[in-house]
A = this chain, B = another copy of it.
Amino acid sequence: MKNLRLKAARAAQDLSQQALADRVGVTRQTINAIEKGDYNPTINLCIAICKELGKTLDELFWE
Contacts and interface: CB of A to CB of B under 8 A. Distances in A.
Nearest to A57: B57
A50 B63 CA distance: 12
Given A58-B56, A58-B58, A62-B56, A40 B42 contact: yes
* Interface residues of chain A: helix, strand, loop or mixed (majority): helix
* Count class of interface residues, chain A: 10 to 19
Copies per assembly: 2
Contacts of A47: 61-63
A37 B58 CA distance: 20
A41 B40 CA distance: 10
A12 interface: no
Interface in A10-63: 40-44, 46-47, 50, 56-58, 61-63
